[in-house]
Amino acid sequence: MDDFHYKIESGQGALWCEGVSLDDLADEVQTPAYVYSQATLEGHYDRLSQAFAPLDPLICFSVKSCPNTSVCRVLTQRGSGLDLVSGGELYRALKTGVNPAKCVYAGVGKRPDEITSALEAGVGWLNVESSQECALIGQLAEQLGQPCRAALRVNPDIQTETHQHTATGHRGTKFGVQLDQVEAFFETYGSSPWCKLSGIHLHIGSPILQVEPYVMAVQKGIELMDRLRSKGYIIDMFDLGGGFGADYQSGQAPEATVYAEAIVPLLESRVAEGLQVVFEPGRSIAANAGVLLLTVLYVKQSDDHTFLICDGGMNLMIRPALYDAFHFVWPTRVTASHIPPARTEKVQLDGLSPVNVVGPICETGDIIAKDRALPQVQAGDRLAVFGAGAYGMSMASQYNSQPLPPEVLVDGQKAKVVRRRETYADLLAMEV
């Protein structure tokens, strides 16, 4: 799953990331802090890439999940491309040194200046979401004299078992073009020499812990590509988006090989005919590669509830408040008998008591973990929020004027601050 593990030191369990003690690291950089494991990032990327090797896919790491350029560079140096959704992400991508041709640029609301930058950079494909956008890309490409390849984002109308805010592939969302309107779309825009529609893009939502929705999406995609080809359109790229699961709880997500066993046979013959398959994984690579380290400031009893009030909350990890998402939380130091056997909602150990892990933010919804059985914790103890590498720092805010925390990348026994902690002056830096 990852490279965060408890080591026993003089009868106590202490959390390490690869070869670095997280308590020693926290003494150095203070909390709150995000810590990423390079070995975990690489391991997840490698497993995906090996599982899907028969398709020789272009894996484009989804920058929105963990945009730090040092993290992205770990992956691009391994051969990954990048999945981008804004001019800001394109700017980051170019700083990593990635080959722009290995990038896809999606997003429902691309501004004209963002499209121009993507054209000038020479991104591999623009993923088109609407007819007006397609017309604008064609116009801007013609003005620049720079034709581009494009993939049409299609809404395949597939229901998925995920939170309503992260399900994207059913009818009625703002994403893509309805399946039954795609042929008409191609009749209008499919022969532009400037915005060359030559791919199909899908993203059915995330996290998707079953393979069936992917199988359905691929089948619908293949049928669609065949219909378009029979009308003379050249379709040579199929982008299946992201959404593969991560282990927010131990063993929750299917292995990359499980997704691959279902998907590869459906696409293998098409790849042999020249189809380029693209994936846009974010959380399946980054989620388990990061923890958020917090310090408990106060232990507060209120009626029957115990609150562990920490130095970071929804401002740094909004997923529980936004999606009711589960993140495993555990002290960085515990007695040896309290080393968690697995990261699950209900840990089967003696001597645990229920607590609410909350932050300093002035919102009742500022909760990281509710009614969670934890070992005895005192003010000053540190907690690790696991599975925090994706959509953690990337969705963090300065709400309540809390400066953003540092990000640290661990590689073996080395820990490097790859984004420094913000200062109070940083909070005001943009104000004029």
Nearer to ligand PLP, 40 or 62 (CB): 62
State which amino acid sits at residue 282. Answer: G
Q: Which of residues 185-214 bind ligand PLP (CB under 6 A)?
A: 203, 206-207
Per CB under 6 A, 160 contacts ligand PLP: no
Options 2, 18, 42, 83; binder of ligand PLP; rule CB under 6 A? 83
- For ligand PLP, the nearest residue by Cβ is 282
Q: CA torsion, points 388, 394, 395, 400, in degrees to nearest 10?
A: 100
Q: CA torsion, points 312, 314, 320, 322, in degrees to nearest 10?
A: -170
Q: Could you give the 3-state DSSP secondary structure of residue 109?
A: coil
Stretch of 155-163, 276-284, 322-330, 412-420 lying at the interface with ligand PLP (CB under 6 A): 276-284
Per CB under 6 A, 44 contacts ligand PLP: no
Return the CA Rg of the chain. 23
Stretch of 264-272, 275-283, 288-296, 404-412 lying at the interface with ligand PLP (CB under 6 A): 275-283
Residue 127: CB minimum distance to ligand PLP, A = 7
CB 250 within 8 A of CB 288: no
Pairing state between β 382-385 and 329-331: antiparallel
Determine the Cα angle at 162 with ends 159 and 164, to 5°.
80
Nearer to ligand PLP, 72 or 390 (CB): 390
Which residues are catalytic, by number? Answer: 362
Q: Which helix (H) or strand (E) holds 27?
A: helix 22-29
Residue 206: CB minimum distance to ligand PLP, A = 3
Half-sphere exposure of 107 (CA within 13 A, CB side): 20
Structure tokens belonging to residue 149: 């390849």
Options 2, 280, 366, 407; binder of ligand PLP; rule CB under 6 A? 280
φ/ψ of 391, rounded to 5, equals 60, 30
Residues 81 and 72: their CA atoms lie apart, in Å, by: 9
What number of H helices and E strands is found in the chain?
12, 22
- Number of residues forming the site for ligand PLP (CB under 6 A): 17
Phi-psi bin for 380: left (phi > 0), alpha (psi -120 to 50), beta? left
Nearer to ligand PLP, 215 or 417 (CB): 215
Nearer to ligand PLP, 204 or 377 (CB): 204
Residues 186 and 233: their CA atoms lie apart, in Å, by: 8
Residues 135 and 154: their CA atoms lie apart, in Å, by: 17
Per CB under 6 A, 390 contacts ligand PLP: yes
Residue 189: CB minimum distance to ligand PLP, A = 20
Options 48, 93, 106, 256; binder of ligand PLP; rule CB under 6 A? 106
CB 251 within 8 A of CB 230: no
Nearer to ligand PLP, 6 or 244 (CB): 244
Determine the Cα angle at 31 with ends 28 and 33, to 5°.
95
Nearer to ligand PLP, 153 or 372 (CB): 153
Residue 241: CB minimum distance to ligand PLP, A = 4
Options 37, 38, 40, 62; binder of ligand PLP; rule CB under 6 A? 62
Q: Which of residues 213-272 bind ligand PLP (CB under 6 A)?
A: 241-244
Pairing state between β 305-310 and 12-17: unpaired
Q: Which of residues 282-311 bind ligand PLP (CB under 6 A)?
A: 282-284
CB 172 within 8 A of CB 125: no
Residue 375: CB minimum distance to ligand PLP, A = 31
Nearer to ligand PLP, 51 or 106 (CB): 106
Q: Which of residues 113-152 bind ligand PLP (CB under 6 A)?
A: none
Structure tokens belonging to residue 29: 């950089």
Residue 153: CB minimum distance to ligand PLP, A = 8
Stretch of 32-40, 94-102, 109-117, 281-289 lying at the interface with ligand PLP (CB under 6 A): 281-289
Nearer to ligand PLP, 51 or 374 (CB): 51
Nearer to ligand PLP, 38 or 284 (CB): 284
Residue 412: CB minimum distance to ligand PLP, A = 26
Residues 40 and 410: their CA atoms lie apart, in Å, by: 10
φ/ψ of 217, rounded to 5, equals -65, -45
CB 331 within 8 A of CB 284: no
φ/ψ of 280, rounded to 5, equals -125, 60
Contact residues for ligand PLP (CB under 6 A)? Answer: 62, 65, 83, 106, 203, 206-207, 241-244, 280-284, 390
